[in-house]
């Protein structure tokens, strides 16, 4: 305990708590100026390695946590990243009690990485179909002054959003986008994932492999359909009647299942473009006494907790959502640190997890 802390403890009768530790205490402990402590905390220049280490040791010893407002006043950073997510499906999922594992994983990756760098991540909902979208984003940018923005589908392909971020000079990352353009693009290979699912089912002897698409608003839906069709063509199995339209939601998959079941030679396996739609297919099979996987194999394009705990547990494509958001946050912070050599077009690997919902074709 330093002299000042000991003096405070003598007068108050209690040790100083972490909440009372200020930058002045850190400066006194390290024997440096307030400006030097500020430069170290904000990763500023003109600090020798020895002094930087001494200040960091004082911060750790005293349990000092920099005040975010003070840090923002002390420099050109806000220490905030803002993630924009699609409002309508997000709110619908919350109101219906379905939640959204994609959002959970996105927050997990982004928030933990931000915390490691002394940052915070703010989550904003934006309706891309609203005529007030640009005004809403501008208001958020003006109020929060984020150091970077993370765009999630379908905002990743929205030129109006990219334009307003460019005009405000805010760097941004586009999750789930493999198209060329401004900002950092970070994605997985959706087409390859769909092809991997087809290959798995074809190896099990399935020749009638159905596919339920996702919403047309999402580029990933187009990539997944392209990957499915390419793999089916490669195996000589493609039939347009095996493709049914969905929108990632449960109800759309019920209708798609009924459509696929009504064709002359219905599928013995179905790939669904979301976990919710895969669960709908499983429920419909159970309702019609179709055993899974004995008479119908199912693959999910999400690996949510419900997918893993279904009966049987579903074979699934595990998307690197947390990893993509973590990388996006890391790269945006590095841009603020002055890194200009970061390469866009990052592709993260997916996992194909085989479980009890896929088996040999017996028809």
Sheet holding 346-347, edge to edge: 120-126, 80-86, 148-151, 172-175, 184-187, 346-347
Contact 210, 241 (CB under 8 A): no
CA dist 118 and 110 (Å) reads 12
3-state secondary structure 66-81: CCHHHHHHCCCCCCEE
List the structure tokens of 141. 């940018």
Contact 146, 170 (CB under 8 A): yes
User: Which residue in 336, 349, 328 sits closest to 111, CA to CA?
Assistant: 328
- Classify domain 80-188+321-349 at the CATH topology level: Rossmann fold (3.40.50)
Query: Is the fold of 80-188+321-349 the same as that of 190-318?
Result: yes
Report the CATH superfamily, name and number, of domain 190-318.
Answer: Response regulator (3.40.50.2300)
As a whole number of angstroms, the distance between CA 348 and CA 327 comes to 10
**CA–CA–CA angle 336, 76, 46 (5° rounding):** 80
* pLDDT of amino acid 13: 42
Q: For the chain (length 363 residues), average pLDDT per consecutive 10?
A: 45 48 82 79 76 86 67 67 88 78 89 90 86 88 91 87 92 86 90 98 97 92 96 97 95 96 96 96 96 97 92 96 94 85 84 97 82
- Cα distance between residue 332 and residue 158, in whole Å: 19
For the record, the structure tokens of 199 come out as: 């290959």
Closest CA to 83 of 60, 48, 111, 56: 111
Q: Identify whether the C-beta of residue 188 lies closer than 8 Å to the C-beta of residue 350.
A: yes
Beta-strand ranges (E) seen in 158-309 are: 172-175, 184-187, 209-212, 243-244, 269-272, 297-300
Q: What pLDDT does residue 11 have?
A: 41
Both tokens assigned to 247? 């929108």
CB burial of residue 293 (10 Å; 0-12, 13-18, 19+): buried
pLDDT given at position 259: 96
Contact 245, 256 (CB under 8 A): yes
Strand ranges (DSSP E) for the chain?
80-86, 120-126, 148-151, 172-175, 184-187, 209-212, 243-244, 269-272, 297-300, 315-318, 346-347, 351-353
Can you tell me whether residue 363 is helix, strand or coil?
coil
Nearest residue to 136 (alpha-carbon basis) of 125, 150, 145, 121: 125
Three-state DSSP state, 97:
coil
User: Is the separation of the CB atoms in 171 and 183 below 8 Å?
Assistant: yes
pLDDT at 348: 94
Task: State the CATH class of domain 3-67.
Answer: mainly alpha
* Domain coordinates in residue numbering, the chain: 3-67, 80-188+321-349, 190-318
Q: Which two tokens stand for residue 213?
A: 């698409």
Identify the CA nearest to 253 among candidates 208, 207, 287, 227: 287
Q: Which secondary structure element, helix H or strand E, spans residue 115, and what is its range?
A: helix 101-116
CA distance 157 to 95: 26
- What pLDDT score was predicted for residue 76? 67
């Amino acid at each position: 305990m330093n002299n000042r802390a000991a003096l405070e403890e003598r007068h108050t009768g209690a040790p100083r708590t972490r909440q009372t530790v200020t930058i002045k205490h850190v400066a006194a402990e390290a024997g440096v100026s307030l400006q030097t402590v500020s430069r170290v905390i904000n990763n500023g220049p003109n600090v020798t390695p020895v002094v930087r280490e001494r200040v960091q040791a004082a911060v750790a010893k005293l349990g000092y946590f920099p005040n975010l407002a003070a840090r923002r006043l002390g420099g050109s950073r806000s220490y905030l990243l803002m993630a924009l997510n699609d409002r309508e499906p997000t709110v619908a999922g919350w109101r219906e009690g379905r939640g959204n594992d994609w959002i959970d994983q996105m927050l997990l990756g982004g928030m933990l990485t931000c915390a490691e760098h002394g940052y915070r991540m703010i989550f904003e909902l934006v309706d891309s179909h609203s005529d007030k979208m640009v005004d809403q984003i501008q208001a958020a940018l003006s109020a929060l002054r984020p150091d970077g923005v993370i765009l999630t589908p379908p905002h990743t392909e929205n030129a109006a959003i990219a334009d307003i971020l460019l005009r405000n000079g805010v760097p941004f990352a586009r999750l789930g986008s493999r198209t060329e353009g401004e900002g950092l693009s970070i994605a997985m290979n959706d087409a390859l994932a769909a092809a991997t699912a087809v290959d798995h089912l074809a190896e099990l002897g399935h020749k009638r492999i159905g596919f339920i698409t996702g919403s047309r608003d999402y580029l990933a839906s187009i990539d997944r359909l392209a990957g499915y069709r390419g793999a089916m063509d490669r195996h000589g199995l493609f039939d347009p009647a095996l493709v049914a339209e969905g929108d990632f939601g449960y109800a759309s998959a019920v209708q798609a299942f009924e459509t696929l079941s009504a064709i002359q030679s219905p599928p013995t396996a179905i790939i669904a473009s979301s976990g919710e739609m895969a669960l709908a297919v499983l429920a419909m099979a159970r309702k019609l006494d179709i055993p899974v996987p004995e008479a119908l194999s199912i693959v999910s394009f999400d690996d949510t907790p419900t997918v893993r705990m279904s009966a049987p547990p579903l074979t699934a494509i595990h998307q690197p959502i947390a990893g993509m958001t973590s990388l996006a946050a890391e790269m945006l912070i590095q841009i603020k640190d002055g890194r200009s050599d970061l390469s866009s077009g990052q592709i993260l690997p997916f996992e194909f997890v085989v479980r009890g919902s896929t088996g040999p074709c017996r028809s």
